[in-house]
């Protein structure tokens, strides 16, 4: 122990970081990207997760540095992460939130703002076109904002919306927006959807939560990152996703910067003030506004133009996210490599499974590897899921399957027969609900793990 005087904070911080990195190397080695130093894999004993956190000492050190600064609420790390994320995706602005589900809620809520043109503003009873197959929080914000979801069928070969129903779904004067997710990292048909939205002056929200790092090329154009095609898009940084901050997410504004103030307002209690946390009087008119029926000069920091929420993340999460964002290219490469390996190794099982295909024009950064059990197979998806679970191989169904079969939506229709509309018979969504599941391709999977997945599936099919 040193007998000298007190050490300055910078020296202490460097020593803490050194110890943190040493600790992380010993305690979190199993969470590093798969490589030569990965822990030994014991088939049937070591779990094979469908997804998980992949990180190293840099993330832990960044989190500790941020905690030592003790800013806590969204601050300098958040500002930097928002800029870096927007640049990485190719959008005008990214706004951090506390989850991907919150991002979907805020993106849809933003369309209800009176700051938008009256003829395009989403009002109660207006309709939003979406897909029947997927995760519920893609569709739930439509209902939560008093609008009506119009459910299209899904294409089982891509997992995405079947665009053949777009015209039938459109109701002049009532349809205001389209909100769709890229299924398992596989971009939906952005060429058809963006053309449809442009022709009818509809808003487009891309749920990009499962597709960060995927690309798509419109006809005659170079590939662009998903999340940059719609008016708004959303990200999730929950641990199974392409990068993680624990909890966390973002709303991306592709072009129209009117949405910056609107999304931030809904995120920050609905306030009209755009001052960052800890700052006052950015506009120089804090006590000079007259809004609503408030008296002139009422404090702008306590003036509310929307009925909003408090959905901000913490600065420590942004510090982690900045490091993770630097890993995104390598993560995407690993996901594509693992997906291609499984696809090739499982080709002999095509008599029992249909395999997901990339949408034409798409370069997916895959979230998972989907197995679609054929109708004539000698086993069901439920039996396969149980069999994989017994072998300690993580797997998931395709999220909510056909959402209109979920208890919440069944009850919704009982309470109000006009709560949502369905276009067509939803046969594709039903097949995905009945027969689809997926296994992992995330960067923490080693080749012995993938070999074990392949061997197990071959044994099960036999």
Report the catalytic residues: 241
Eight-state DSSP code of residue 54: -
**Among the listed residues 141, 134, 105, the one whose alpha carbon sits nearest the alpha carbon of residue 250:** 105
User: Measuring CA to CA, which residue among 107, 90, 110, 91 is closest to residue 99?
Assistant: 107
Q: Classify 104 in phi/psi space as left (phi over 0), alpha (psi -120 to 50) or beta.
A: alpha
Dist CA 71 CA 60 (whole Å): 17
Coil, strand or helix at 236? strand
Please say whether the beta carbons of 392 and 47 come within 8 A: yes
Query: What three-state secondary structure class fits 69?
Result: helix
d(CA 77, CA 73): 10
> Considering only CA atoms, which of 395, 383, 404, 399 is closest in space to residue 453?
395
Best CA proximity match to 57, nearest among 93, 26, 91, 79: 26
Our measurement of the distance from residue 431's CA atom to the centroid of its chain's CA atoms, rounded to an integer in Å, reads 24
DSSP 393: B
Between CA 423 and CA 425 the distance in angstroms is 7
Task: Tell me how crowded residue 220 is: count the other CB atoms within 10 A of its CB.
Answer: 5
- Render 268-316 in DSSP notation, one character per residue: BTTBS--PPTT---TTS-TTT---TTSPTT--GGG-BSS---B---BHH
Contact 258, 93 (CB under 8 A): no
> Beta-strand (E) ranges in 101-152?
127-131, 148-152
DSSP state of 41: P
Q: Rounded to 5 degrees, what are φ and ψ at 450?
A: -65, -40
Distance CA 67, CA 315 (A): 9
């Amino acid at each position: 122990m040193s007998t000298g005087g007190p050490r300055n904070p910078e020296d202490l911080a460097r020593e803490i970081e050194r110890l943190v990195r040493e600790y992380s190397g010993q305690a979190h080695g199993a969470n590093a990207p798969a490589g030569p130093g990965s822990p030994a894999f014991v088939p049937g004993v070591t779990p094979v997760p469908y997804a998980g956190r992949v990180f190293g000492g840099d993330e832990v050190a960044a989190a500790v540095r941020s905690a030592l600064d003790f800013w806590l609420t969204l601050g300098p790390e958040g500002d930097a992460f928002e800029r870096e994320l927007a640049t990485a995706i190719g959008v005008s602005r990214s706004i951090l939130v506390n989850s991907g589900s919150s991002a979907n809620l805020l993106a849809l809520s933003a369309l209800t703002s009176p700051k938008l043109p009256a003829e395009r503003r989403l009002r109660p009873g207006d309709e939003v076109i979406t897909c029947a197959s997927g995760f519920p929080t893609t569709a739930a914000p439509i209902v939560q904002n008093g609008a009506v979801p119009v459910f299209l069928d899904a294409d089982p070969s891509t997992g995405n919306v079947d665009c053949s129903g777009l015209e039938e779904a459109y109701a002049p004067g009532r349809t205001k927006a389209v909100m769709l997710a890229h299924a398992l990292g596989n971009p939906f048909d952005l060429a058809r959807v963006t053309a449809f939205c442009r022709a009818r002056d509809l808003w487009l929200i891309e749920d990009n939560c499962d597709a960060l790092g995927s690309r798509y090329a419109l006809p005659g154009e170079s590939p662009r990152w998903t999340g940059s095609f719609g008016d708004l898009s959303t990200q999730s940084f929950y641990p199974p996703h392409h990068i993680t901050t624990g909890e966390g997410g973002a709303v991306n504004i592709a072009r129209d910067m009117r949405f910056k103030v609107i999304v931030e307002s809904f995120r920050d209690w609905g306030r009209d003030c755009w001052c960052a946390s800890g700052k006052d009087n950015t506009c120089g008119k804090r006590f000079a506004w007259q809004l609503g029926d408030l008296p002139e000069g009422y404090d702008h920091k306590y003036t509310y133009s929307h009925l909003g929420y408090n959905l901000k993340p913490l600065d420590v999460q942004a510090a982690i996210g900045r490091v993770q964002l630097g890993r995104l290219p390598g993560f995407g490469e690993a996901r594509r490599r693992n997906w291609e390996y499984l696809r090739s190794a499982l080709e002999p099982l095509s008599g029992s499974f249909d395999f997901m295909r990339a949408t034409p024009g798409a370069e997916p950064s895959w979230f998972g590897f989907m197995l679609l059990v054929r109708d004539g197979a000698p086993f069901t998806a439920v039996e396969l899921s149980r069999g994989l679970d017994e072998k300690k191989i993580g797997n998931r169904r395709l999220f909510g399957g056909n959402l209109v079969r979920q208890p919440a939506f069944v009850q919704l229709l009982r309470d109000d027969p006009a709560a949502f509309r369905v276009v067509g018979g939803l046969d594709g969504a039903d097949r995905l609900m009945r027969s689809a599941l997926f296994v992992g391709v995330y960067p923490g999977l080693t080749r012995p793990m993938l070999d074990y997945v392949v061997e197990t599936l071959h044994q099960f099919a036999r």
